[in-house]
């Protein structure tokens, strides 16, 4: 029987796992979380995707209370600057774009309209992009707008702890000194703390971050290195004072050796500069970050190192890795928090009450790997589709060989303007299209269904879509105004 669950490590990953498990399976299992206040957390995952809202609904989280506790703002997408060429800009928005029919998705109708001279920009048909560009936002029951959050990761962990402990999660303060294994099976039996106490369990969740204390240091699970495609391997991060109203989107601004982010919260701005240290030194990265940020820094920049890749197995013996211990792609599309939530959701659905079986572990690992590879391909897309020739970093990205799975997607869109989303894939058709168009792909052909429409009819249909978005937009208040009012409610 599996009843005693021990979570090694707190932070965002540990408290997400604890809060979800106790909410969904609380009466059936005992949950203990071990963390040390002396061990810092990475805490830079300050941007999310819309799946967070679904997860919050499962946990019964009241949105306004969450916003107050985490000083969050709303996020409608990501604005990419300088990725295809210096001076270029495009928006990867949440939500659906235009209106599709069973025979052909919306981009085919848009391309036909553009051929006839009245299509406009693809983003004209995205409510989220238009609201983001205008700095406007509101949500209410029945709202059509799709959104996520910018949040303070440390405050988010504390908020989730405030839900989990009263619901029955036992927190133990202490540093783990040894991981004790069964001599015959290799299964982890207990965590020994520096105090000498032992925390025994049946199932262990490794939330120890890049240290991967259980999954790697103890079980030697192995790591699949993806740095041949995703060569950024360091970041310097700093928080700054706000200098103006918070815009409802993340900015991702490419530079000569990587990119930097700007994430606005209610009380400050999160900034980070991601780079490949083959092409930029740590000192150069710090100096560039401080030169480019707006507002007064609130502390000295912190340096983080990472390697893109994933564990050979997310679940090995009786240890499941979640968060950074399971692998890391990079922060570009804000997927780290999502991956924690999907991992704990997958565990809840497949919880091994009767004992850990090879079939359960194999299925869990296959789904985890597939999810990671899908996200990996989507991130590589941003680097591969560049025309930049101004630095060795971008020339290498442009010329690199890419996974066949991604090459096939690019060829499909380049040849026929076709995109797809598999049943278990996170990124939507609209996301692939927005990034591929934004990064400069011009499809050679497209589905001809739109040619069966009278040109005047097609023009009117596209005009009606734009008018509908304009009407929605006119009802939205400024984002900053809405956040202040809504958070106070």
In a domain, 436, yes or no: no
How many whole angstroms separate alpha carbon 382 and alpha carbon 403?
Answer: 14
Q: Does residue 243 sit in the same domain as residue 346?
A: no
Q: Is the pLDDT of residue 219 over 70?
A: yes
- Residue that finishes a domain, picked among 277, 305, 333: 305
Q: Are residues 166 and 272 in the same domain?
A: no
Residue that terminates a domain, selected from 321, 355, 374: 374
What average pLDDT does the structure give for the chain? 94
**Are residue 300 and residue 320 in the same domain, yes or no?**
no
Residue 39 has pLDDT above 80, yes or no: no
Task: Give the domain extent around 293.
Answer: 234-305
What are the catalytic residues?
75
Residue 88 within any structural domain of the chain: no
Summary count for the chain: helices (H), strands (E): 14, 21
327 and 194 within one domain: yes
Q: Is residue 277 located within the same domain as residue 364? A: no
Query: Between the CA atoms of 271, 265, 166 and 355, what dihedral angle is there, to the nearest 10 degrees?
Result: -50
What six digits make up the tokens of 362?
């194999």
Cα–Cα distance between 15 and 19 in angstroms, integer?
6
- Convert the pLDDT of each residue in 431-466 to its tens digit: 999 999 999 999 999 999 888 889 999 999 999 999
pLDDT tens digits, 377-386: 999 999 999 9
Would 448 be classed as within a structural domain?
no
User: Of 305, 342, 307, 304, which is closest to residue 322 (Cα–Cα)?
Assistant: 342
Flag whether 239 is in a domain: yes
Specify whether 59 is located in the same domain as 161: yes
Residues 220 and 313 in one domain: yes
Assessment of whether the complete model's pTM goes beyond 0.75: yes
Last residue of a domain, one of 341, 374, 407: 374
In this predicted structure, the answer to whether residue 40 has a pLDDT above a threshold of 80 is no
Structural domain count of the chain = 2
pLDDT value at position 204?
98
Nearest to 383 by CA among 395, 398, 399: 398
Does pLDDT of 43 surpass 70? no
361 and 274 in a common domain? no
65 within domain boundaries: yes
pLDDT band at 102, cuts 50/70/90?
confident
What is the three-class DSSP state of 29?
coil
Give the pLDDT confidence score for residue 443 in this predicted structure. Answer: 97
Q: Which helix (H) or strand (E) holds 35?
A: strand 30-35
Same domain, yes or no: 219 and 286: no
Is 59 a domain residue? yes
Residue 54 lies in a domain: yes
C-alpha 329/C-alpha 179 separation (Å) is 27
Give the CATH number of the domain where residue 63 resides. Answer: 3.50.50.60
Q: 254-260 contacts: CB < 8 A, separation 24 or more? A: 254/80, 254/81, 254/82, 254/83, 254/388, 255/82, 255/288, 256/280, 256/390, 256/391, 256/393, 256/394, 257/285, 257/391, 257/393, 258/232, 258/393, 259/83, 259/232, 259/332, 260/288, 260/289, 260/292
pLDDT digits (tens, 9 = 90+) for 385-406: 999 999 999 999 999 999 999 9
């Amino acid at each position: 029987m599996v009843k005693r669950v021990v979570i090694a490590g707190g932070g965002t990953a540990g408290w997400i796992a604890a809060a979800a498990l106790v909410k969904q399976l609380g009466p059936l299992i005992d949950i203990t979380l071990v963390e040390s206040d002396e061990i810092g957390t990475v805490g830079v995952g300050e941007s999310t995707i819309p799946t967070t809202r679904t997860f919050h609904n499962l946990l019964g989280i009241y949105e306004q209370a969450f916003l107050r506790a985490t000083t969050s703002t709303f996020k409608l997408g990501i604005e990419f600057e300088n990725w295809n060429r210096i001076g270029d800009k495009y928006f990867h928005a949440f939500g659906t774009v235009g209106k599709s029919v069973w025979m052909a998705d919306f981009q085919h109708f848009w391309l036909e309209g553009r051929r006839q001279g009245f299509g406009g920009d693809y983003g004209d048909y995205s409510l989220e992009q238009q609201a983001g560009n205008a700095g406007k936002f509101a949500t209410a029951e029945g709202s059509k707008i799709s959104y996520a959050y910018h949040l303070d990761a440390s405050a988010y962990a504390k908020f989730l702890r405030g839900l989990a402990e009263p619901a029955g999660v036992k927190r133990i303060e202490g540093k783990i000194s040894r991981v004790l294994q069964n001599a015959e099976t290799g299964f982890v039996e207990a965590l020994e703390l520096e105090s000498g106490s032992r925390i025994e369990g049946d199932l262990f969740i490794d939330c120890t971050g890049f240290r991967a204390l259980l999954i790697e240091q103890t079980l030697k699970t192995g790591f699949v290195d993806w740095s041949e495609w995703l060569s950024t391997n360091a970041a310097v991060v700093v928080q700054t004072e706000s200098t103006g109203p918070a815009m409802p989107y993340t900015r991702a601004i490419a530079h000569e050796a990587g990119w930097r982010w700007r994430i606005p919260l209610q009380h400050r701005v999160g900034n980070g500069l991601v780079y490949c240290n083959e092409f930029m030194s740590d000192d150069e990265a710090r100096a560039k970050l401080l030169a480019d940020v707006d507002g007064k820094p609130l502390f000295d920049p912190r340096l983080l190192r990472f390697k893109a890749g994933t564990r050979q197995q997310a679940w090995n013996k009786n240890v499941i890795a979640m968060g950074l211990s399971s692998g890391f792609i990079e922060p570009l599309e804000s997927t780290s928090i999502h991956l924690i939530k999907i991992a704990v959701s997958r565990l809840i659905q497949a919880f091994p009450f009767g004992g850990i079986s090879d079939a359960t572990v194999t299925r869990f690992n296959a789904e985890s790997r597939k999810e990671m590879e899908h996200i990996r391909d989507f991130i590589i897309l941003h680097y591969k589709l560049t025309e930049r020739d101004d630095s060795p970093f971008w020339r290498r990205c442009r010329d690199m060989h890419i996974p066949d799975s991604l090459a096939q997607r690019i060829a499909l869109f380049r040849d026929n303007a076709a995109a797809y989303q598999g049943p278990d894939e996170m990124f939507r058709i609209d996301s692939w299209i927005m990034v591929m168009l934004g990064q400069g792909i011009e499809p050679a052909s497209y589905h001809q269904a739109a040619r069966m429409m009278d040109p005047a009819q097609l023009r009117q249909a596209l005009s009606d879509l734009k008018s509908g978005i304009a009407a929605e937009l006119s009802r939205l208040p400024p984002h900053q105004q809405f956040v202040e009012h809504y958070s106070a409610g």
